[in-house]
Amino acid sequence: MTKILLVGPNGRMGRAIKDCVAKSNEYEITRELDSKSWKNAVEEKAKVDVIIDFSLPAALNDVVKLVESHNVPLVSGVTGYSQAQLQQIGKLSQKVPILHSHNMSPGIAWLRRVLSQVPIEWKTQAHLIDIHHKEKRDTPSGTAKTLAEDLGVSIEQISSIRSGSAIGLHSVIFSLPDEELVIEHRALSRNLFARGALQASLWIQNKRPGLYSMVDMFS
């Protein structure tokens, strides 16, 4: 049974993780940390195998201290980090294994592998669409930024729509002479990301310190 410390248990993703854990006998959430329950959390060293973080970028300093004091792997799905915060995660990954992914779905991991095969002259013509629910804080989405980076295009090539309750849609459009290729991924439930994060929490446990992605996990 994998013992999980869950940061951000009350959010949309935190609730999806708890829902998936309740239906499984492979995982147990032994400690939850919401924004009000950090007092003594770093020092108390709960017995955990892995920390899963689906909170917000503002929690990063506390999460880093937590990971350092527990000395266990981190699976983070948080998006919207600044460059300095990403460097902070990179530095932490020299001490413990970290899987940080803007999208925990197998579909997006495979899409990223497909994009690595696309001819370079197609990539530079690519446009991206990112559609999410209206409460989403970061625009463009972390996934859209990752795909743009994979394609080598700027974030100006991303069109973002924030509307209704859309869980997450990403389209990559290649406009070619006399033809158009569209590859689209639609997330139909947050349990998709939760299952990916839980799978990652098993996968990461015997890894050396380093920064991993879902592409590594599904390779």
Q: Which residues are catalytic?
A: 132, 136
- Specify the DSSP element, H or E, that contains 161: strand 158-162
Verify binding: residue 199, ligand NAP, rule CB under 6 A: no
Nearest to 141 by CA among 78, 211, 54: 78
Indicate which single residue of 27, 174, 193, 203 sits in contact with ligand NAP (rule: CB under 6 A): 193
Q: Phi and psi of 128, rounded to 5°?
A: -125, 145
Closest listed residue to residue 214, CA positions, set 129, 99, 137, 113: 99
CB nearer ligand NAP, residue 174 or residue 213: 213
Site for ligand NAP in 18-47 (CB under 6 A): 33-36
Question: What's the closest the beta carbon of residue 156 comes to ligand NAP, in angstroms?
Answer: 21
Question: To the nearest whole angstrom, how small is the minimum distance from the Cβ of residue 104 to ligand NAP?
Answer: 4
Site stretch for ligand NAP (CB under 6 A), options 22-30, 67-75, 95-103, 173-181 = 95-103
Residues with Cβ within 8 Å of 132's Cβ and at least 6 positions away in sequence, in order, are 141, 160, 161, 162, 166, 167, 168, 169
Q: Footprint of ligand NAP on residues 160-179 (CB under 6 A)?
A: none
**Do 141 and 160 meet the contact criterion of CB atoms below 8 Å apart?**
yes
Residues that bind ligand NAP (CB under 6 A): 7-8, 10-14, 33-36, 54-56, 58-59, 62, 77-80, 101-104, 138, 193
